[in-house]
Copies of this chain bind each other. A is one copy, B any other.
Amino acid sequence: MSSTEKRHYNPERAQQRREQVLDAAAQCFARRGFHAASMAEISKVAGMSAGHIYNYFSGKDEIISAFIELDTERVGELLGELGQAEDPLQEMVDTTREHVDESLEPVNWKLYLEISAEASRNDKIALRVQEGDRVSREQFGGLLRRCREARGLSTDDATIDGRMEVLIAMYQGLPLRLLHNPDLDRDALSESFKVALRALLFS
């Protein structure tokens, strides 16, 4: 980077601009889907010129990648907090309702559902989704192994992987339940969720 460019580069402003684009893209994707939304439309909603937006993202695929990174960070923070608890597995059960509510928050799943549908037919996006998931599984698997070991429970790979996959499937399936049954009883759901969680974590 030349010294002239350095003088003009303002990282805080760039970060603000990137967030502005991501907010606009989230709106456009949620409203019309990934394919129907265009970079021109996203730049319009973001209040930028069509050319300006390409300073921040080379295209829609790169915008989607940024969303996946943000989601992986969000999960990482949740797991990090959980890891600080005295008894992380018990904490996970005790905070079930909170995590159920968070999973059912449209801002957390609408876009992610769109990304998943896109990943099912776009290999580039699929690889990004898989990379984010691998990072989260490593973190979660480590926590699960450490806590189960402390309790004298089995920690072989099949048990850790299997428990983790089912547990994540339950959480990732929740938004689909809300779509299929908007009147679902969250109290009843959370109580049954705990029943399954306890079995998966403590046996």
Q: Does A78 belong to the interface (CB within 8 Å)?
A: no
Pairwise interchain contact B193-A166, C-beta atoms closer than 8 A: yes
Chain B residues with Cβ below 8 Å from A189 are: 161-162, 165-166
Quick one: which of B137, B170, B181 contacts A137, CB cutoff 8 A?
B181
Pairwise interchain contact B114-A192, C-beta atoms closer than 8 A: no
Quick one: which of B134, B158, B179, B200 contacts A196, CB cutoff 8 A?
B200
Complex: A174 Cα to B176 Cα, angstroms: 11
Range of interface residues on chain A?
A: 35 or more
Chain A 126-147 interface mask (CB, 8 Å, partner B; 1/0): 1001101110010000000000
The residues of A with any CB-CB pair to B shorter than 8 Å are 30-36, 110, 113-114, 116-121, 126, 129-130, 132-134, 137, 157-159, 161-163, 165-166, 168-174, 176-177, 179-182, 184-185, 187-193, 195-196, 198-200, 203
Chain A to chain B contacts (Cβ below 8 Å), 15 pairs: A33-B117, A110-B121, A113-B116, A130-B181, A132-B180, A133-B180, A133-B181, A134-B181, A159-B192, A162-B190, A162-B192, A166-B195, A172-B173, A172-B180, A196-B199
